[in-house]
Homo-oligomer: A and B are copies of this chain.
């Protein structure tokens, strides 16, 4: 969990300019109530600025129990833990996602795959907007399949690419193809790399991350109910600078970049 160490460093670096969340949806301004269905939170029943206003760092990952482990680790690192203290699940009213908070850090689960993380990100971005958060850094952490790396290595993603190795996230909006860029914050990549070098606990590389819609066939695994393994494809991916494969990075990059995160 190298990312945890980053929190503290980032806290010092990013406090100068005031960067707010940008929503690309004029309808929200005219809505009396905004219900975040899949968090079981609503602007009419919860005080978002009081609950989340101080948030500066959001860490997201697939599994609810891992995000709970993560917030307890962050609490220890920040000296904000108290003996016997539990971190309650802020989204306890639903079993879609789990959310935990300590100080300026929010830890949220997103399930598996682009659609699942996309629903969570829509609601998370609105939550940060309603809470009037500023200068928020968001990091996804999770397991992934390495290409040409020792198991246990950490890959910091420079660019998320699709299954054709293109740095694009293609989405069907109302039946029409919309293509969005998947660039990530290069300064954050460098800072994370520096943190990892200072820690020197894990082999860490910067590379591109391939995002697929499928775990078995999409990633060329041998052991699905249907199978599609080809060594040549993985070799071509490595040659294209791809160092790992997972299932959420492209929409994460596209949505964060569109909303000024």
Q: Which residues of A contact B (CB under 8 A)?
A: 23-28, 31, 34-35, 38, 62-65, 95-96, 111-116, 118-119, 121-123, 125-126, 129, 162-165, 171-175, 212-218, 220, 222-230, 233, 247, 255, 258-259
Contacts and interface: CB of A to CB of B under 8 A. Distances in A.
Contact of A121 (B38, B125, B225, B233): B225
Contacts of A64: 95
Nearest to A36: B223
Nearest to A112: B116
A35 B212 CA distance: 21
Contacts of A174: 163, 220, 228, 230, 233
A233 B175 contact: yes
A230 B114 CA distance: 23
A8 B123 CA distance: 40
A227 B27 CA distance: 8
27 contacts: A23-B225, A24-B225, A24-B227, A25-B227, A26-B227, A27-B229, A38-B112, A63-B95, A65-B95, A113-B113, A113-B116, A113-B118, A115-B212, A118-B216, A122-B215, A122-B216, A126-B223, A162-B172, A164-B172, A164-B175, A173-B217, A173-B228, A174-B220, A175-B233, A213-B213, A225-B259, A226-B258
Contacts of A218: 171-173
Given A163-B175, A164-B172, A172-B212, A226 B112 contact: no
A122 B63 contact: no
A114 B112 contact: no
Contact of A116 (B111, B121, B122): B111
Contact of A119 (B27, B112, B118, B233): B112
Contacts of A175: 163-165, 233
Nearest to A254: B226
Nearest to A165: B175
